[in-house]
Amino acid sequence: VQLQASGGGLVQPGGSLRLSCAASGSIFSVYAMLWYRQAPGKQRELVAGITSDGSTNYADSVKGRFSISRDNAKNAVYLQMNSLKPADTAVYYCKAVIRTLTAIDKFDYWGQGTQVTVSS
């Protein structure tokens, strides 16, 4: 199983970006899909998550500005980021909880990270 993240870049304060992450491989079922971020010198933190039935949760710091969504047919998750601030600068990682075709249990899989830089 692989997770491929994309969509990061450089944006001015107040701007928007949309991150995408798609899972591929021998997938039986995808459960929760989440976005984390890690800024330089800081611990990785949960930004937003979405369950297989569409329930969402957000970090307080991004509520009202970020929106997570998913496309179950594509095993993909998206993060729409609006009103970006310099404090949002970080490497963003996607994570998916997946049961593969050959496994009985489900495991966490991580994407490679995509850099988001908010600066004027």
How far apart are the C-alpha atoms of 99 and 84, rounded to whole Å? 34
Q: What is the largest CA-CA distance in the chain?
A: 49
pLDDT in tens, 36-67: 999 999 999 999 999 999 999 999 999 999 99
- Alpha carbon 12 to its chain centroid, in Å, reads 20
pLDDT at 103: 85
How far apart are the C-alpha atoms of 43 and 41, rounded to whole Å? 7
Is residue 68 scored above 90 in pLDDT?
yes
pLDDT in tens, 73-113: 999 999 999 999 999 999 999 999 999 998 889 999 999 99
Distances (CA, A) of 96 to 12, 15, 57, 63: 29, 27, 15, 21
Give the angle subtended at the CA of 61 by the CAs of 60 and 62, to the nearest 5°. 95
Q: Which residue has the tokens 């609006």?
A: 82
34: nearest Cα among 100, 84, 85, 79 = 79
pLDDT in tens, 19-35: 999 999 999 999 999 99
